[in-house]
């Protein structure tokens, strides 16, 4: 069944019809299209275009269509160019040509805009729940590892000791911002286009506010030309998902580094890693690598979407059909990536001995030693200079800061008393950073408590 054959004498080119068809990907909008059609039929009954009986018959038939889709029994016909056509065609088959009345006063333009907004609102909520699961896995791991101190880096160079839990919790904050972005995208979608018709508004006297309420929107669009051509909410969602993926990619990179023999800090659960077909010893962090790898796809989805919208004349243009594949791809890829990362994080194990030896080596507490001297009365620049010379000496001797004896220390300054060595232990260094947001165990414990409240707060 074609929805538009009237003014055409000939048949469309078969190759072009295939090119123009969107059913292969928009079929997944069926639950939204069915609810949107049901609500429209009721609104038409309210406006006297359909009788109450007719609206009930349509609603019953829509239940059957929904069941057919849910069970996989729905048979697509070659002429179903999109989900809207397919559902109307099936309605006509089920209840006769009367079903065509539901098209009155409605266009696929306001219909697809409505369906897509419903999809976005629904999936923003689902993705936010996934983010909560991943945040919980990170917070649980953090709570389990409050006693582990590891090297903290800037420029990927060892900088200062930090709690491993502090590192894990940094990702919880990133994900919290992502949840807020998704919430914003959902709000951007929360305005009902139905009733806008093709572009100029419907002639039927429908109660749009009631329609909005019925379909889960908190308001109606104010301008029909804008409403049928607006896909900003889809951009917002794909941008939010691109940020999710950028954050997951950074988390992945961290996990991959930790799992390397050079770090030797973390081991992935067997369920979330793979072996090599050639090298029998290998255990590869493929889950994290794939998440990192898929990030590019979603950034590409955002670019595709923005480029599609750029330069479009007002209202509906067929280009807008190209919104769905990037949107769906971003939703599917991000959802799967969040679940994979949640599983990967939940089953990570840390090597406490290795962490202790990593944290003890090197010069990560050089700043603490300078602070120590400053506390004993030296100007910080002078203290900085002395510790710099100590570091040069250690490098020449092949030693770390922690390997120095009390006598060696004294060579550099008589202010460096015997307690200087304890002062420069990694745990002591971390322990002094008790400010809010700092890496001291009590500050991190407070961070965990706040993160748990934040996660439970929705
Ligand atoms: N499949 C179309 C889309 O996704 C539905 C709207 C078609 N409207 C039209 N006037 N051809 O955008």
CB 267 within 8 A of CB 210: no
Q: Looking at the CA of residue 4, tell me the nearest atom of ligand 1.
A: 11
Q: Do residues 126 and 89 share a domain? A: no
**Residue 340 near residue 268, CB atoms below 8 Å:** no
Residues 197 and 342 in one domain: yes
Among 357, 388, 410, the domain-final residue is: 357
**Ligand 1 pocket member 321 (CB < 6 A):** yes
Indicate whether 328 and 351 sit together in one domain: yes
Q: Average pLDDT, stretch 354-368? A: 92
CB-count exposure of residue 372 (10 Å: 0-12, 13-18, 19+): buried
Residue 276 known to be catalytic? yes
Rounded Cα distance, 35 and 213, in Å: 12
* Per-residue pLDDT, 3: 72
* 1 domain-assigned: no
247 is catalytic: no
> What does the pLDDT look like over 327-342, one tens digit per residue?
999 999 999 999 999 9
Is 254 a pocket residue for ligand 1 (Cβ < 6 Å)?
no
User: Residue 6 has what pLDDT?
Assistant: 78
Mean pLDDT on 45-61: 96
Are 90 and 140 part of one and the same domain? no
What's the average model confidence in pLDDT over 260-273?
92
> Above 80 in pLDDT, residue 276?
no
Give which of 61, 67, 63 is closest to 94, Cα–Cα. Answer: 61
Q: Residue 82 belongs to a domain with what CATH number?
A: 1.10.275.10
Mean pLDDT of the region 389-396? 95
Q: Is the pTM of this model over 0.85?
A: yes
pLDDT of residue 458: 63
Range of the domain at 274: 109-144+164-357
Question: Are 113 and 261 found together in one domain?
Answer: yes
Interval 42-51 mean pLDDT: 96
Question: What is the crossing angle of helices 108-144 and 30-46, to 10°?
Answer: 130
Active-site annotation holder among 218, 276, 357, 405: 276
Residue 412 in domain:
yes
Percent of the chain residues past pLDDT 70, beyond the cut: 99
Residue-level pLDDT at 7? 79
Question: Do residues 228 and 369 both lie within one domain?
Answer: no
Q: Is the pLDDT of residue 388 over 90?
A: yes
**Domain co-membership, 322 together with 382:** no
- CATH number of the domain within which 347 lies: 1.20.200.10
Question: Tens of pLDDT along 205-254?
Answer: 999 999 999 999 999 999 999 999 999 999 999 999 999 999 999 999 99
236 and 339 co-located in one domain? yes
Check which CATH number belongs to the domain holding 375 and give it. Answer: 1.10.40.30
Average pLDDT of 441-448? 98
Please give the tally of structural domains in the chain: 3
Q: What is the mean pLDDT of residues 358-368?
A: 91
Domain boundary among 288, 323, 357: 357
Q: pLDDT tens for residues 165-180?
A: 999 999 999 999 999 9
| Whole-number pLDDT of residue 270 | 86
Ligand 1 pocket test, pick from 318, 325, 328 with the greatest ligand atom count within 8 Å of Cβ, gives 318
Instruction: Say whether pLDDT at 280 is over 80.
Output: no
In a domain, 171, yes or no: yes
Kindly give, in sequence order, each residue whose CB lies less than 8 Å from that of residue 307, ignoring residues fewer than 6 positions away: none
* pLDDT band for position 255 (cuts 50, 70, 90): very high
| 108-144 helix and 441-456 helix, angle to the nearest 10 degrees | 150
On whether residue 158 sits in a domain, the answer given is no
Please say if the pLDDT value at position 267 is more than 80.
Answer: yes
Q: What's the whole-number mean pLDDT along residues 358-385?
A: 93
Q: How much helix, strand and coil, in percent to the nearest 5, is found in the chain?
A: 65, 5, 30
Is residue 150 a part of any domain in this protein? no
Write down which residue in 357, 387, 403 finishes a domain: 357
CA–CA distance, 439 with 249 (Å, rounded to integer): 23
β-partners of residue 284 are 274
Provide the pLDDT for residue 143. 98
Residue 425 pLDDT more than 80? yes
CA distance 293 to 174: 19
On whether both 233 and 336 belong to a single domain, the answer is: yes
Mutate which of 321, 325, 326 to test ligand 1's pocket (most atoms within 8 Å of Cβ)? 321
Same domain for 217 and 137, yes or no, is yes
One domain, residues 351 and 434: no
- The answer to whether 319 and 308 have CB atoms below 8 angstroms apart is yes
Q: 189 CB less than 6 Å from ligand 1?
A: no
Mean pLDDT of 446-453: 98
Residues 229 and 95 placed together within one structural domain of the fold: no
Reported confidence tier of residue 1, pLDDT bands at 50, 70, 90: low
Of 122, 133, 286, residue with least CA distance to 215: 122
* 305-to-44, 139, 233, 324 alpha-carbon distances in Å: 34, 34, 11, 9
Residues 364-386, mean pLDDT to the nearest whole number:
95
pLDDT at 435 over 90: yes
Percentage of residues of the chain with pLDDT beyond 90: 89
In a domain, 223, yes or no: yes
Based on the number of CB atoms within 10 Å of its own CB, is 154 exposed (0-12), middle (13-18) or buried (19 or more)? exposed
């Amino acid at each position: 069944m074609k929805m538009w054959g009237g003014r055409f004498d000939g048949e469309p080119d078969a190759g072009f019809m295939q090119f123009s068809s969107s059913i292969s990907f928009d079929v997944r909008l069926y639950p939204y299209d069915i609810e949107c059609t049901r609500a429209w039929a009721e609104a038409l009954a309210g406006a006297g275009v359909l009788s109450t009986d007719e609206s009930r018959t349509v609603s019953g038939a829509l239940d059957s269509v929904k069941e057919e889709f849910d069970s996989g029994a729905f048979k697509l016909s070659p002429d179903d160019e999109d989900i809207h056509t397919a559902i109307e065609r099936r309605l006509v088959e089920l209840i006769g040509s009367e079903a065509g009345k539901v098209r009155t006063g409605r266009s696929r333009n306001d219909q697809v805009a409505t369906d897509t907004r419903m999809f976005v609102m629904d999936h923003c909520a689902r993705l936010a729940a996934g983010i909560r699961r991943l945040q919980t896995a990170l917070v649980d791991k953090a709570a389990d590892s409050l006693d582990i101190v590891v090297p903290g880096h800037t420029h990927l160079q060892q900088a200062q000791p930090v709690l491993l839990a502090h590192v894990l919790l940094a990702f919880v904050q990133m994900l919290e911002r992502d949840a807020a972005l998704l919430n914003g995208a959902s709000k951007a979608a929360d305005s009902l286009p139905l009733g806008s018709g093709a572009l100029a508004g419907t002639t039927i006297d429908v109660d749009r506010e009631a329609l909005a309420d019925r379909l889960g929107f908190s308001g109606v669009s104010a301008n029909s030309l804008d409403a049928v051509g607006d896909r900003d909410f889809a951009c917002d969602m794909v941008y939010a998902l691109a940020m999710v993926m950028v954050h997951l990619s950074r988390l992945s990179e961290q996990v991959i580094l930790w799992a390397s023999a050079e770090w030797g800090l973390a081991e992935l659960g067997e369920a979330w890693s793979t072996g090599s077909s050639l090298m029998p010893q290998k255990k590869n962090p493929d889950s994290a690598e794939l998440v990192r790898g898929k990030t590019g796809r979603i950034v590409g989805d955002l670019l595709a979407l923005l480029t599609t919208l750029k330069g479009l004349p007002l209202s509906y243009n067929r280009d807008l059909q190209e919104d769905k594949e990037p949107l769906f791809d971003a939703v599917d890829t991000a959802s799967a990536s969040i679940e994979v990362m949640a599983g990967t994080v939940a089953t990570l194990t840390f090597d406490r001995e290795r962490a202790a030896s990593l944290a003890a080596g090197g010069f990560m507490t050089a700043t603490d030693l300078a602070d120590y001297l400053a506390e004993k009365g030296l100007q910080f620049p002078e203290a900085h200079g002395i510790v710099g010379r100590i570091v040069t000496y250690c490098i020449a001797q092949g030693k770390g800061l922690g390997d120095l004896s009390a006598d060696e220390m004294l060579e550099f300054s008589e202010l460096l008393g015997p307690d200087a060595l304890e002062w420069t232990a990694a745990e002591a260094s971390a322990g002094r950073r008790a400010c809010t947001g700092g890496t001291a165990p009590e500050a991190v414990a407070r961070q965990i408590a706040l993160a748990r409240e934040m996660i439970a707060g929705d």
